[in-house]
Amino acid sequence: MNELYEMTFKGKSFRGYNEKFNLTQGELSDIQNKITELNPLAEGIEIEYKIVPRDKTTSKRGEYCLLIYSEEKEHYLVNICYMFKELDLYLASKNIGVCWYGMGKVKDPYEGRLKLNINSK
C-alpha cells in the first residue's frame, strides 16, 4: 500500500505517444492481473472491463484503451473511480503513463456489457 501512496505524488500522463514504449505482453498481463485485484469502495456492484487496442476505438491516443463498465447502482460512479484510481497509481509505479480522457467509443460494441444491462446513451 505504501508504494501506491507514494505514487499519488508522481502521476504519469502522456501527451504524445512513441511506439518504442509499447507495453510488453508481460506488462499487459500484469495489468490484467492487477485489475482483478482492485478493491471496490462499495460492495455488490458488478464491474466489467476489457483492454482493447486503440485502433478498435475512436481514440486517437496511445496503444491500448481500457473499457470500463459498471452496473448502475447507488454510488457506482464513485466506486468505479475509486477502483481505477488504484490502477492509475499502480501504473505510475510501473512507469506506465496513462491518459484518462473519458468518452472514446469502441467501433464494434463490446458484448460483455450486455450482461450488466448498461444503457447505451
Q: Which residue range is the domain that position 85 belongs to?
A: 1-13+44-105
Whether 54 maps to a domain, the answer reads: yes
pLDDT at position 116 is 40
Whether 21 maps to a domain, the answer reads: no
pLDDT at position 22 is 83
Whether 36 maps to a domain, the answer reads: no
| SS3 per-residue string spanning the chain | CHHHHHHCCCCCECCCCCHHHCCCHHHHHHHHHHHHCCCCCCCCCCEEEEEEEHHHECCCCCCEEEEEEECCCCCHHHHHHHHHHHHHHHHHHCCCCECCCCCCCECCCCHHHHHHCCCCC
Whether 4 maps to a domain, the answer reads: yes
pLDDT at position 64 is 85
> How do residues 10-59 score in pLDDT, each as one tens digit?
555 555 556 667 888 999 999 999 999 999 989 999 998 888 888 888 87
> How do residues 44-99 score in pLDDT, each as one tens digit?
999 988 888 888 888 777 788 888 888 899 999 889 888 988 888 888 888 887 76
Confidence of residue 114 (pLDDT cuts 50, 70, 90): very low
pLDDT at position 68 is 85
* CA-atom Rg of the chain in angstroms: 15
Whether 65 maps to a domain, the answer reads: yes
pLDDT at position 33 is 93
pLDDT at position 118 is 36
Whether 25 maps to a domain, the answer reads: no
Q: How many domains does the chain have?
A: 1
Whether 73 maps to a domain, the answer reads: yes
Whether 35 maps to a domain, the answer reads: no
pLDDT at position 120 is 32
